Structure 1
Amino acid sequence: MKSKVLKVVKIGGKLIENEAKFTEFLKDFVALEGPKILVHGGGNLATEIAGKLGYKTQMFEGRRITDADSIKVITMVYGGLINKNIVAKLQALENNAVGLCGADGLSIVSEKRPVKEVDFGFVGDVKKVNANFIDSILEQNITPVFSAISCTEEGVLLNTNGDSVAAEITQAMSSIYETELYFCFEKKGVLADAQNDDSVIEEIDREKYEELLAEKIISDGMLPKLHNCFQALEHGVKQIFLGDFKLLKKESVYTKISN
């Protein structure tokens, strides 16, 4: 029987950019008991820096199209600037951490997304996660901090949706731990009305999800997020929560996803 609960937390780029909220979030993250993993985004900063370098950012259904120039920027921003800043802040809060991407220990192996209606370029879909390698870090009481970059078996770095990375890690670690997945972003949860931040849908099961899709209430970046949620529940993840920077305290309203 699995005795430990592992919490995997994904934090969105907009929260990282808000210093006050990000600082509060990190304190709450450090306060979590037991083993934990942090996965971070950073798309807005990558877009900003790419723009300054003269590169145009293209999106399709909430996912970034990544050409040869963009993957260089993403590697620098996600794997370098953002990742190491987070690790440094966790160390300052006396939470021993190590910054990783999928190439480290071949922890997140993916394959280049095949070209169908859209060529996503250097974008990866996760193929497998090295749960034993990640567990070896957790066993040393070190917190892994993953950027949203994976790696092919041939050694090619690929931009990978951060929500997918978090979901795939949580699923893989379910073979060793009881797992919980938290998506912390700029909203209080999944909204019934995108223009009303207080219209949080507090619980979504599969039937409710299908209703929301049919009514086109869910769109853009929330589509892949919820798709990942239900896929994770089908592959061993016990509980999933979505909310803002206060989510880890569970003191305010949030969304819980269930089968």
Structure 2
Amino acid sequence: MIDLFIIKVGGNVIDNPALLQTFIEKFATIPGKKILIHGGGKIATRIGDKLGIESKYVDGRRITDAETIDVVTMVYGGLVNKQLVARLQANQCNAIGLTGADANIIPAVKRPVKTIDYGFVGDVYPEQLNIAPLKALLEAGVTPVFAPLTHDGKGQMLNTNADTIASSLAIALSASYAVRLIYCFEKKGVLSDPNDDNAVINLINKEIYQQLLDNKVLSDGILPKLQNAFGAIDNGVKEVLIGHADDVLSNTTATVAGTLIC
């Protein structure tokens, strides 16, 4: 039996007011212990543009220079995080907004420079997480809401991939709870045909995953989620599910609408 749901909601949902409102209303009604991790969407880019701070990307990944870390800290840890918390409170879900720096829950290491300098980007190691304060919040009936931010323990905030934060939290907490990690985004799940939104693969194990890779069925966008999913499964997480944000409530039940990874 699952006794903790760790749910990551993607930036494309954050950017869509109607989709986000539906997600918030459904997430708030999930019974029991739950954690929400959110992406940043395009809001940081829009605010950075207004401030004259250009967003730079390499292979779709944000370069987080000194100016950009200030922007994403303000936007992800402030604006987006607190708006989500306020909306959850409006739906009778007692939530608290956090970054990885709060209570030292998610310390990270600034990514070493190899061929590309990503700037103030943090890499997370699940065994280094400080989960005692998090467990105390969960046991008190409070729902933590994490922004995609960590810290280096020396006073520097770090931008960290929200999918990675979600899987790291799931791994760290799997010693104490039976965890289902759920990735919510704008698709119904992993698709056998990227052009058909209804071609959902309902169950993927390692054998099926390898077949999908060999047959080049999977889109590039879904591969990081699957890699995170199997990394979590290999490290104690009971179940991982990838599905549409609209299906978040049903995907906390035994009858799932998305793709279950096992």
The verdict on a shared fold, with TM-score over 0.5 as the criterion, is yes
Change (3 A) 1:53 1:199: farther
- Matched residue, 2:74: 76
Q: Distance in 2 between matches of 1:233 and 1:61?
A: 27
Change (3 A) 1:220 1:169: same
Tell me the amino acid that sits aligned with residue 160 of structure 1: T
- Matched residue, 1:106: 104
Instruction: Return the offset for 1:65.
Output: 2.1
Percentage identity across paired residues of the two chains: 46
* Per-residue Cα deviation, 1:157-195 (whole angstroms, up to 9, x for no partner): 110000000110111111111111011111111223333
Give structure 1 regions of 4+ aligned residues with deviation exceeding 6 angstroms: none
Instruction: Return the offset for 1:213.
Output: 3.3
Instruction: Return the offset for 1:62.
Output: 4.4
Q: Does 1:256 align with 2:260?
A: yes
Instruction: Return the offset for 1:140.
Output: 1.4
Segment drifting more, 53-62 vs 117-126: 53-62
Does the Cα contact within 8 Å between 1:103 and 1:155 map onto a contact in 2?
Answer: no
Partner residue of 2:55 out of 33, 47, 57: 57
- Matched residue, 1:119: 117
Unaligned runs of 5+ in 1: none
Change (3 A) 1:151 1:125: same
Tell me the amino acid that sits aligned with residue 153 of structure 2: E
- Matched residue, 2:198: 198
- Matched residue, 2:238: 238
- Matched residue, 1:97: 95
User: What is the TM-score normalised by the length of structure 2?
Assistant: 0.91
Instruction: Return the offset for 1:80.
Output: 0.6
* Per-residue Cα deviation, 1:6-55 (whole angstroms, up to 9, x for no partner): 10000112112222222221122111111110000013222222233333
Q: Could you say what secondary structure the match of 1:108 adopts?
A: coil
Instruction: Return the offset for 1:210.
Output: 2.8
Q: Does 1:164 align with 2:164?
A: yes
Q: Could you say what secondary structure the match of 2:175 adopts?
A: coil
Unaligned runs of 5+ in 2: none
Residues matched between the structures, number: 256
- Matched residue, 1:135: 135
User: What is the TM-score normalised by the length of structure 1?
Assistant: 0.92
- Matched residue, 1:6: 4
Coordinate RMSD, CA, aligned: 1.9
